[in-house]
A and B are shown apart, each in its own frame.
Chain A
Amino acid sequence: EADIYQTPRYLVIGTGKKITLECSQTMGHDKMYWYQQDPGMELHLIHYSYGVNSTEKGDLSSESTVSRIRTEHFPLTLESARPSHTSQYLCASSVGVVNEQFFGPGTRLTVL
Chain B
Amino acid sequence: AQKVTQAQTEISVVEKEDVTLDCVYETRDTTYYLFWYKQPPSGELVFLIRRNSFDEQNEISGRYSWNFQKSTSSFNFTITASQVVDSAVYFCALSPGGSNYKLTFGKGTLLTVNP
Which residues of A line the B interface, CB within 8 A?
2, 31, 33, 41-43, 45, 48, 50, 58-59, 88, 90, 92, 94, 97-106, 108
Contacts and interface: CB of A to CB of B under 8 A. Distances in A.
Given A41-B107, A104-B44, A108-B43, 7 more contacts: A41-B89, A41-B108, A42-B108, A98-B52, A99-B101, A99-B103, A106-B43
Contact of A103 (B33, B44, B52, B97): B44
Contacts of A58: 102
Given A41-B110, A42-B105, A43-B91, A101 B42 contact: no
A2 B37 CA distance: 14
A61 to B, nearest CB: 15
Nearest to B109: A41
B35 A100 contact: yes
A98 B52 CA distance: 8
A98 B51 CA distance: 9
30 contacts: A31-B101, A33-B102, A41-B108, A42-B107, A42-B108, A45-B102, A48-B102, A50-B101, A58-B102, A88-B43, A90-B43, A90-B44, A90-B45, A92-B45, A97-B97, A98-B50, A98-B52, A99-B95, A99-B103, A100-B35, A100-B47, A100-B50, A101-B47, A101-B103, A103-B37, A103-B47, A104-B44, A106-B43, A106-B44, A108-B43
Indicate the size class of the contact surface on chain B. 20 to 34
Contacts of A98: 33, 50, 52, 95
Nearest to A102: B47
A42 B105 CA distance: 8
A58 B47 CA distance: 21
Contacts of A90: 43-45
Instruction: Please name the 7 residue pairs, one residue from A and one from B, whose CB atoms are nearest each other, closest first.
Output: A103-B45, A41-B108, A106-B43, A99-B101, A105-B44, A43-B105, A100-B50
Contacts of A88: 43
